[in-house]
Structure 1
Amino acid sequence: MRIEIWADVVCPWAYIGKRRLDKALAGWDGEPVELVWRPFRIDPTAPVPATSHEGSTEDELLRDLGILGDRDDAEAAQACAVGPAATVPQTPPIAEIAAAEGLGSTWGAAWRASSHDAHRLLALAHRHGGAELQHPLAEAVMKAHFIEGRDISLAETLGQLAADAGFPEAAALLADGAADQQVKELLLIGKARGVATSPTLVVGDRALSGAQSPETVTRFLRDAAGQPHRRLPAEVERLRYADALLDKRDPLGALTLLQPLLTEHGDEPSVQLLAARGYFASAQLGRAAAVLEELVAHAPDDSYARLLLGRTLTRQGRTEEAAVHLALAAAMTPEYAT
């Protein structure tokens, strides 16, 4: 059973959630488990290494997120939360909760650090050593951030943590930009799958949001283990994720996920139509029109392609051409006339 841990390594609840997951797995007697860490960003605006030492302390960051202080910012608080309904300041203080989970009496990140490169490191760790390397390295990264006061946005920090974990080649890979695109795509996939809280455990089609208790995690895993987990072909999954991003009004994200499919399967009508929707929604009207004209030429009875082509041509000011396609679309599918 694969457990995906969608989390941000600079989210305190992710570290607490990891410890609670470890406790649940220590007593797990079900089917073998594979752990995979996936990226999530609670603070995409965190400064890059050049300016990270001008950032905030952990308490200031948590206050910005609505977890501490007087702000009533439910959406921000839920991005890094103890549970799906965590929309108010937590009690007791998070340092006490961390201490109760065995994370020591000293708690507090020194820097408001960008976690992008740390996510790259974890992606590379899984690629090179699987869960046996990635899971302990996630622990080391979060310990460095929350307990040791180190800046995990710095290349030298990540390189040393990787070397200590038995992954010395990581520093050179990070310097070469390895896994950058992979992390960006995974962030989009998480968004497409509806991941909105760090941490979120995902098994198949089931998800558990927040740093839940070991007992709750165990119940979740037992329920998930009893369900069939059918893995779709990678191309089909990518197409579905791109479609979901369009529904979430992220056409540029959808086009990013579609790019490999356009390269390898660019003549597939389903891929072309999804790309055309992305181009239309992102106001790339010339590209949308070109793809849709090709689709209509090969499938004259595709009423939706004609409708979208008509709307695209209308936005381009080509009203006479648009009228022909809009009329045909309405004739084939009457509801398109409205």
Structure 2
Amino acid sequence: MWADVVCAWAYIGKRRLAQALEGWDGEPVEVVWRPFRIDPMAPTQAEPMEEVLRDPVVDAALQGCAPGMTPAENRVRVSEIAAAEGLGSRWGAAWRASSHDAHRLIALAYQEGGSALQDAVLEGVLRAHFVEQRDISLKETLQEIAAAAGFSEGGRLLGEGGAEEYVRETLLRGKAIGVTTSPTLVIGGEALAGAHAPEVIAQFVARAVAEPRRELPTEVERLRLAQALLDKGDPLGCLTLLGKLMAEHPEERSVRLLAARAHYHSAQLSRARSGLETLVAEIPDDAYARLMLGRVLERQGKGEEAAPHLRIAAAMNPEYGKAG
């Protein structure tokens, strides 16, 4: 489940997912929570929600959450649904808080104690934010939540920077596979976006589990995710996921070519040129590497140097000549 702990629908979705799995009699199902950010610009130091909601720009942005309703009407609707799900009548976040460290704590709980401990910590974070109206961006708040959930080491691990890299990379993985809303339930290659009714979730789980996806080697999956990020216009995210592959498989041509493309699209032209020149020297008849090298040189203002590479690429593959 990809979700943000500052998303009210994530808390509602958590309850509905649990209800959907209560009568599950198929293969054992493990629920693992992955990070998503609905408000990546939330400040490190939390702001009172009352002040935030008075901002007309924020109010207008919230219109997209519930077309046809004012943000105030939508908040009332969500509160009523939350109460019906047993989440309490006193409902509503009091703070606009960054959820980054909360996601780190939730990830650490899974790493240290599995899905049961993660669920307990997640429940504590959600309850603190929406019911107790506490500031979950504070380390002290997260330490208290961890301790109450039986995760005594949580505060220390958080303070040591635990799961920092994991959360940042997993956010990119979610983007790569097409997660765009909180919550989104993912099983294999199937996704169900939104906090649906328990019976809808149960049907989705049954259908997805019945059609298991073939697992890819870790390196292949990482390469495909990096490619997906580049295709989505995020070359820096692509390079982040490629980092481990570049360190572990520095001679792998597909990794090096994708890195050169990402350098090109992120305007790191010197790095792109260096990588592509090496690739072309190794395999002179690689038409695509020739094409990319020519384009890099053009962007560097070196038209005369670019021309031979572009001509050779077009001779080997006429389609590259049309790309112009």
TM-score normalised by structure 1 residue count = 0.90
- Give 4+ residue runs of structure 1 displaced > 4 Å after superposition: 61-65, 69-73
State the match for 1:6 in structure 2: 2
State the match for 1:237 in structure 2: 221
State the match for 2:235 in structure 1: 251
State the distance in 2 between where 1:165 and 1:15 align. 17
Matched, 1:263 2:261: no
Matched, 1:176 2:191: no
State the match for 1:113 in structure 2: 97
1:25-44: per-residue Cα shift (whole Å, max 9, x none)?
Answer: 11111110011100000001
State the match for 2:283 in structure 1: 299
Q: Is the contact between residue 61 and residue 112 of structure 1 (CA under 8 Å) also seen in structure 2?
A: no
Q: Is the contact between residue 43 and residue 98 of structure 2 (CA under 8 Å) also seen in structure 1?
A: yes
Summarize the alignment of residues 143-292 of structure 1 with structure 2, pairs less than 5 Å apart.
143-292=127-276
Q: CA deviation at 1:58?
A: 10
Q: SS of 2:19's equivalent?
A: helix
Counterparts in 2 of 1:107 and 1:172: CA distance versus 1, 3 Å: same
Q: CA deviation at 1:87?
A: 4.1
- How many residues align? The count is 318
**2:49 maps to which of 48, 53, 56:** 56
Structure 2: runs of 5+ lacking an equivalent: none
Identity of aligned residues (%): 60
Structure 1: runs of 5+ lacking an equivalent: 78-85
Q: CA deviation at 1:60?
A: 2.7
State the match for 1:94 in structure 2: 78
State the match for 1:35 in structure 2: 31
State the distance in 1 between where 2:274 and 2:33 align. 40
Q: SS of 1:35's equivalent?
A: coil
Question: Which amino acid counterpart does residue 38 of structure 2 have in structure 1?
Answer: I
State the match for 2:14 in structure 1: 18
State the distance in 1 between where 2:55 and 2:153 align. 34
Q: CA deviation at 1:164?
A: 1.3
Counterparts in 2 of 1:229 and 1:221: CA distance versus 1, 3 Å: same
Counterparts in 2 of 1:40 and 1:274: CA distance versus 1, 3 Å: same
Greater CA deviation, 197-206 or 220-229?
220-229
Matched, 1:322 2:309: no
Q: Is the contact between residue 176 and residue 228 of structure 2 (CA under 8 Å) also seen in structure 1?
A: yes
Q: SS of 1:290's equivalent?
A: helix
Q: Is the contact between residue 47 and residue 55 of structure 1 (CA under 8 Å) also seen in structure 2?
A: no
Q: CA deviation at 1:59?
A: 8.8
Counterparts in 2 of 1:282 and 1:34: CA distance versus 1, 3 Å: same
